[in-house]
Structure 1
């Protein structure tokens, strides 16, 4: 075993001479210092402890000796520690180090230890600063790391690291030892430059604090060594600043040169972790993505953000003067406080919170056709590679405030890993060290197990309308129905939801939801019944409407009793334009988010807007459905929620015709005008949506009405449209809407009879025939008549006798005929209800032509007695309408309003014009048809006119006439259309008002108030019926079946009953406000009674 001296030897070059043993000798003042400097303290066993110098200030004295003596054996080690401690102070604020200082004033302390410290104070011979009136060693600072002492201040060395101090968390505290930050690459280049400036500033400040030249020179040399060791030969432009905090280390350092130990202040810079938004989202409050901690990343085996970017943590700025290294050094409470201080300027989210806790999936392949699915989602397999699945995205929706659906979907990857697991990767575009030019991706990942309890076996019906985006458009609707299957519920972002209602229906198992949104959703929350988020569905950004070459539309709306039609005139410029029927299905406006399993078709029709090409075609049935609304009828006023246009075909409609939620006769309803409003509101909204897709800049609305409307009807109907147009303009829906053009004194509010005339002139080339013409539009509820001579309108009126009265109602009373014609099983027992009449209208419109071409020629149909009765009743009704037209012509001639006494040409339009084909055995009306000859003779007998061919021209486009005529009249109106005169009815049959008798050729009604009403003996109606009987019998060689066992002579009991029924009808107008009455000329009133009586027989 080797021997060691108990006391250290002297160095070989020691100047200290030993004295004689036992003798005292006088020595100079600095002898003890010379002895200390001459000791050889190197010990091969231990270098970091000196126990042979018994002094209460041993540690700071040792540090002073080691730093001042270049030959000291501990110089290198203590220099490393000294540099490490200075660097910790310099970067304390930048890196958020838990370094604090506590002042010890020995003069104020009275305990024995403090007295000992005072009595043994070191010399200030090497002090770099002085304190006024006292030794600088009297006041020292204890430096604490995480509240544990790790060193102190020293007048001779500025700082003195303690022996064995615990600097846990300091990057250059390695293997239990404090090291220089330059021992390894702990500092980034920018930090080295900042440290160099800090050391330079400290060095320059030393002479101003009254220290000794010797002490200042020693420390200055040490600082120079430290700077040289940084090896900086060129400098970038760095923003060097010192802390502005008065207590930067938790205490004011105001003792001499210690005032220069202010930490470096990290200059504020833009964050490196700012999410770079998509260009469309640039106005959103900036979002900072706080990277996951190193512990989390290690568990997931994912590279830290600093490693991904190839930089150090302190180079990644989190916010302002905090970089990632600082943040990672904070405890939970400190991090929370930092985050709260930034929230006024930024939104923040930790990267780990961008993933949802669980992964939910649909056990069907491609179950979300309307969604955006990331790369790899189509290859995910469940249950031993047997089932392909569709994932719900386990992503926090906050990202969609900054990224479009498309960009987010492109930044997500799915990957199957191991057995029954999936890895979700997310690449986030952050500002990085380039401040976003270009962005730097930060990739995070999470692995999920495909758990059976998270499997969804079905999808709901989920659709959104309309499927486009346009600046200013703020009305969208979504529909959900879960079919009572194990699936997810949906929730839309709250900031875009205007109204959301859930409801159920006993006819359908499951839950419904209708939602109104103020913008197209970029995503949908999927939730369970407890509103727990299961994942997201990303939606494709719907088509953006371009703004190139905008056009103007003139829209003509023919709101009919049975059907509603729409035409547009597209005005390209002042001299060019074209008209066309509104194409409902070009392109579809519904986004089908989920896969249609087939049974979703009916719920969509019943409760939402559907654009199915099978059922959405013009003209639309004038039917509203209020199904699903919980409100009373009078309170239903919200479109879609409380009522929708019922777009259907007969296959669907006939299923439920005995229900209360189908609203028909909207045009004539007075009890619930809100139903009419709901229908037209949705119609206008749908037209506007189509216009947006066509890049329309403005819409001029042209609306028709029957002159059979009462004054109240006319005003109310115009008021509905004025409200609709006003609402559309107030909602700022991209397009400017205009109604009632007053500048040319014609307005956009036109009678149906005039609109039809415009159609025949402009669309069927009949301009030359307006010399002597009658134009009749036979609709579902009214027939609109206009009489023209020499291109001039001489008369117009509208009578409440049309398709429903002339054909549909007769069929409704004979289910056996319907089954024969259409092979339909008519389940309803009440085919006279208005709803079922609409069903028959739909049936005739959709299958009538087929029935005519394929079935009318069959002998069993033609010879069927009940069918023949229907045909004869229809012929009688149309003959009566002709007879009334003859009365009009005759009276106008007698009054010299109309000059010609030749039989005029007749133009027939509207759905009712199709009836003429039913009256011909061949199924196709022509001039040689029997009914044409019958009607011509009726017209001749009612007018007593001679000459003229009286040809009948049927419309080429039944039910298009009014809507198309409206848009044609807007641009180039006929001369007669400027005549806003309201024509009185011509009675056609004698009547009594207030005991005054009026002849059949009188106007009806008189201007005075109606206090009583009666009928004298009938004259014209029996005359017509007898004429019809004779003409029919003569031309067909047989009597009409409908007259069997009826005495049609004018004085018979039959006519007395007809007169009594007519009188009862007329009494309904007594003592009523004139403006509210829908007047009917007595002849037409009597004709309807006659048809009803004959039909019911």
Structure 2
């Protein structure tokens, strides 16, 4: 028998407001304690009672329990949405135990093997059983940290994907209500969990993202566009357009870092090996999904170092310039489409100003802007701003007022941080009922003609889809080439 020291007695008096951004591939957490907003100070909370060799202890903790070292140590959040099932048992949505059946898994890039059968990387709302296991462990871990710091009450603030059905939204809220009720019974800490109509504490990712720029970075969204660019795995970018601090339009595009970056690497694996110094043998045996996971981790940990140390030596090489040109076309195309949105909304009378907007960009995919900056670090003075502003102008037919793109000061953190802001300058912070795309090209759906500026309101399944003439696409490439000249 090993007798452990009696823990220090804690008098719980504090209240935490915790914002959880449970994304498709990563999860981030922010805490508001007494109006101090900061990332969750993640700790492993281990109590080591016997001595073991590090070489034996670390692999076992990584696989069978939570890791002893949080990687990267300087910024362990956001967490990769991965689970390890080592040592677990069969379970269901109604019958699952946090930590015992599965634990969140923090991979070490140098040793990570996403193809292992005891690791699940696709943990998101597409599979509610896996999602519950991940959130059970996360909520328990946060509660334990809160208890250690003398917290008596936790107000949970949750985000949900802008493109989510009402059924899945209700199911997601129910998971949180069940697990927080269980935590309250076991820990004695009071948990306040939002319901589906609590717009203050249960908000779409798009709205929380915009609130970050309005209230954390103190920008007035008088006439503005916000873009949260998704990563390789989520493959969704959220666009919201604001006027006088009110949202007038929001949509989600299946167009992200995967389309703007990774797909080009797939077409040229030699570039991956020769320029990014990634051996093809490390990647060729991986299936598509695991390849995305591996490359995403590389981008998170290595891209900044590569841009700083390697880019200056390859900037004049033809293959690198060709790669950057493709990225520029993809990014400029996104801006051109937003210009089309601005014009369509003005025609519909929803946007009063006949002006292009400044653009606020964040999310995991926003790191791509650094690749487009000549010096490898994007800011408001980067020359690529002129190209992006011009594409907004040409897509909208509004005057080019050389609006700049502002890159988030906290990429990846915007949604979680926005959730826990106490006050906001934004008005009517309620998402519009419909998340409907605007066509962007004249087309026919099920025999009905749809104009380029019409909302794609689809009441039936698409049986027939046709575009007779890619008019805007042709104009885009013409204007893109003029802009480069």
- The answer to whether TM tops 0.5 is yes
Please give the per-residue CA displacement for 1:894-940, whole angstroms capped at 9, x wherever unaligned. 01111111111111111211110011231012345343222222111
Please give the residue correspondences for 1:618-633 in structure 2 after superposition, counting only pairs within 5 Å.
Answer: 618-629=77-88, 631=90
Please give the per-residue CA displacement for 1:516-535, whole angstroms capped at 9, x wherever unaligned. xxxxxxxxxxxxxxxxxxxx
Q: Specify the alignment match of 2:39 in structure 1.
A: 581
Q: Specify the alignment match of 2:428 in structure 1.
A: 976
Task: Give, in angstroms, the shift of residue 950 of structure 1.
Answer: 1.6
Task: Give the whole-Å Cα distance in 2 for the aligned partners of 1:689 and 1:1020.
Answer: 58
1:717 aligns with 2:172: yes
Structure 1 residue corresponding to 2:455, chosen from 967, 988, 1003: 1003
Q: Specify the alignment match of 1:948 in structure 2.
A: 401
- Judged with a 3 Å threshold, the aligned counterparts in structure 2 of structure 1 residues 687 and 808 are, in CA distance, closer, same or farther, namely farther
Q: Specify the alignment match of 1:677 in structure 2.
A: 132
1:658 aligns with 2:115: yes
- Judged with a 3 Å threshold, the aligned counterparts in structure 2 of structure 1 residues 993 and 920 are, in CA distance, closer, same or farther, namely same
Structure 2 residue corresponding to 1:911, chosen from 355, 364, 368: 364
Q: Which moved more, 1:1013-1022 or 1:956-965?
A: 1013-1022
Please give the per-residue CA displacement for 1:369-418, whole angstroms capped at 9, x wherever unaligned. xxxxxxxxxxxxxxxxxxxxxxxxxxxxxxxxxxxxxxxxxxxxxxxxxx
Please give the per-residue CA displacement for 1:308-344, whole angstroms capped at 9, x wherever unaligned. xxxxxxxxxxxxxxxxxxxxxxxxxxxxxxxxxxxxx
Please give the per-residue CA displacement for 1:686-713, whole angstroms capped at 9, x wherever unaligned. 1111111111111111111221223443
Q: Specify the alignment match of 1:838 in structure 2.
A: 293
Q: Specify the alignment match of 1:922 in structure 2.
A: 375
1:593 aligns with 2:49: yes
Q: Specify the alignment match of 1:771 in structure 2.
A: 222
Please give the per-residue CA displacement for 1:598-635, whole angstroms capped at 9, x wherever unaligned. 22212211221124144461111122233444548999
User: TM-score normalised to the size of structure 2?
Assistant: 0.90
- Judged with a 3 Å threshold, the aligned counterparts in structure 2 of structure 1 residues 862 and 779 are, in CA distance, closer, same or farther, namely farther
Q: Is the 8 A contact 1:1000 1:1020 kept in 2?
A: no
1:644 aligns with 2:108: no
1:798 aligns with 2:252: yes
- Judged with a 3 Å threshold, the aligned counterparts in structure 2 of structure 1 residues 1028 and 619 are, in CA distance, closer, same or farther, namely farther
Task: Give, in angstroms, the shift of residue 806 of structure 1.
Answer: 2.2
Task: Give, in angstroms, the shift of residue 981 of structure 1.
Answer: 3.5
Task: Give the whole-Å Cα distance in 1 for the aligned partners of 2:318 and 2:8.
Answer: 59
Task: Give the whole-Å Cα distance in 2 for the aligned partners of 1:989 and 1:674.
Answer: 40
Task: Give the whole-Å Cα distance in 1 for the aligned partners of 2:407 and 2:348.
Answer: 30
Q: Is the 8 A contact 2:23 2:124 kept in 1?
A: yes
Task: Give the whole-Å Cα distance in 2 for the aligned partners of 1:1028 and 1:660.
Answer: 49
**What SS does the corresponding residue of 2:54 show, helix, strand or coil?**
coil
- Judged with a 3 Å threshold, the aligned counterparts in structure 2 of structure 1 residues 613 and 667 are, in CA distance, closer, same or farther, namely closer
Which runs of no fewer than 5 residues in structure 1 stay unpaired? 1-535, 572-576, 1036-1097
- Judged with a 3 Å threshold, the aligned counterparts in structure 2 of structure 1 residues 628 and 783 are, in CA distance, closer, same or farther, namely same
- Judged with a 3 Å threshold, the aligned counterparts in structure 2 of structure 1 residues 718 and 759 are, in CA distance, closer, same or farther, namely same
Task: Give the whole-Å Cα distance in 2 for the aligned partners of 1:710 and 1:590.
Answer: 39
Task: Give, in angstroms, the shift of residue 545 of structure 1.
Answer: 4.6
Task: Give, in angstroms, the shift of residue 805 of structure 1.
Answer: 2.9
Q: Specify the alignment match of 1:933 in structure 2.
A: 386
**What SS does the corresponding residue of 1:793 show, helix, strand or coil?**
strand
Structure 1 residue corresponding to 2:15, chosen from 552, 556, 561: 552
Q: Specify the alignment match of 1:957 in structure 2.
A: 410
Task: Give the whole-Å Cα distance in 2 for the aligned partners of 1:818 and 1:632.
Answer: 41
User: TM-score normalised to the size of structure 1?
Assistant: 0.41
Please give the residue correspondences for 1:152-231 in structure 2 after superposition, counting only pairs within 5 Å.
Answer: none
Q: Is the 8 A contact 2:335 2:388 kept in 1?
A: yes
Q: Specify the alignment match of 2:214 in structure 1.
A: 761
Task: Give, in angstroms, the shift of residue 821 of structure 1.
Answer: 5.0
Q: Is the 8 A contact 2:361 2:408 kept in 1?
A: yes
**What SS does the corresponding residue of 2:69 show, helix, strand or coil?**
coil
Task: Give, in angstroms, the shift of residue 877 of structure 1.
Answer: 2.2
Q: Specify the alignment match of 1:194 in structure 2.
A: none
- Judged with a 3 Å threshold, the aligned counterparts in structure 2 of structure 1 residues 661 and 874 are, in CA distance, closer, same or farther, namely farther
Task: Give the whole-Å Cα distance in 2 for the aligned partners of 1:679 and 1:1028.
Answer: 47
- Judged with a 3 Å threshold, the aligned counterparts in structure 2 of structure 1 residues 677 and 872 are, in CA distance, closer, same or farther, namely farther
Q: Specify the alignment match of 2:25 in structure 1.
A: 562
Task: Give the whole-Å Cα distance in 1 for the aligned partners of 2:251 and 2:267.
Answer: 30
1:537 aligns with 2:5: no
Q: Is the 8 A contact 1:615 1:647 kept in 2?
A: no
Task: Give, in angstroms, the shift of residue 779 of structure 1.
Answer: 2.5
Q: Specify the alignment match of 1:6 in structure 2.
A: none
- Judged with a 3 Å threshold, the aligned counterparts in structure 2 of structure 1 residues 734 and 658 are, in CA distance, closer, same or farther, namely same
Task: Give the whole-Å Cα distance in 1 for the aligned partners of 2:140 and 2:316.
Answer: 46
- Judged with a 3 Å threshold, the aligned counterparts in structure 2 of structure 1 residues 1020 and 967 are, in CA distance, closer, same or farther, namely farther
Q: Specify the alignment match of 1:849 in structure 2.
A: 304
Q: Specify the alignment match of 2:444 in structure 1.
A: 992
Task: Give the whole-Å Cα distance in 1 for the aligned partners of 2:125 and 2:316.
Answer: 35
Please give the per-residue CA displacement for 1:1038-1087, whole angstroms capped at 9, x wherever unaligned. xxxxxxxxxxxxxxxxxxxxxxxxxxxxxxxxxxxxxxxxxxxxxxxxxx
Task: Give the whole-Å Cα distance in 1 for the aligned partners of 2:446 and 2:168.
Answer: 25
Q: Specify the alignment match of 2:187 in structure 1.
A: 733
Task: Give the whole-Å Cα distance in 2 for the aligned partners of 1:643 and 1:1022.
Answer: 48
Task: Give the whole-Å Cα distance in 2 for the aligned partners of 1:856 and 1:973.
Answer: 41
Task: Give the whole-Å Cα distance in 2 for the aligned partners of 1:561 and 1:812.
Answer: 22
Task: Give the whole-Å Cα distance in 1 for the aligned partners of 2:163 and 2:407.
Answer: 23
- Judged with a 3 Å threshold, the aligned counterparts in structure 2 of structure 1 residues 940 and 567 are, in CA distance, closer, same or farther, namely same
Task: Give the whole-Å Cα distance in 1 for the aligned partners of 2:343 and 2:50.
Answer: 65
Please give the per-residue CA displacement for 1:753-795, whole angstroms capped at 9, x wherever unaligned. 211111112221213xx11111111132221221111222211
Task: Give the whole-Å Cα distance in 1 for the aligned partners of 2:329 and 2:117.
Answer: 34
Please give the per-residue CA displacement for 1:11-59, whole angstroms capped at 9, x wherever unaligned. xxxxxxxxxxxxxxxxxxxxxxxxxxxxxxxxxxxxxxxxxxxxxxxxx
Task: Give, in angstroms, the shift of residue 742 of structure 1.
Answer: 7.8
- Judged with a 3 Å threshold, the aligned counterparts in structure 2 of structure 1 residues 1022 and 627 are, in CA distance, closer, same or farther, namely farther
Task: Give the whole-Å Cα distance in 2 for the aligned partners of 1:809 and 1:540.
Answer: 55
Which runs of no fewer than 5 residues in structure 2 stay unpaired? none
Q: Is the 8 A contact 1:624 1:646 kept in 2?
A: yes
Please give the residue correspondences for 1:379-458 in structure 2 after superposition, counting only pairs within 5 Å.
Answer: none
Please give the per-residue CA displacement for 1:799-854, whole angstroms capped at 9, x wherever unaligned. 22222332234445555434445544351315562222122212211222111111
Task: Give the whole-Å Cα distance in 2 for the aligned partners of 1:1020 and 1:711.
Answer: 36
Q: Specify the alignment match of 1:1017 in structure 2.
A: 468
Q: State the Cα RMSD in Å.
A: 2.7
Please give the per-residue CA displacement for 1:407-432, whole angstroms capped at 9, x wherever unaligned. xxxxxxxxxxxxxxxxxxxxxxxxxx
Question: Which has the greater radius of gyration?
Answer: 1
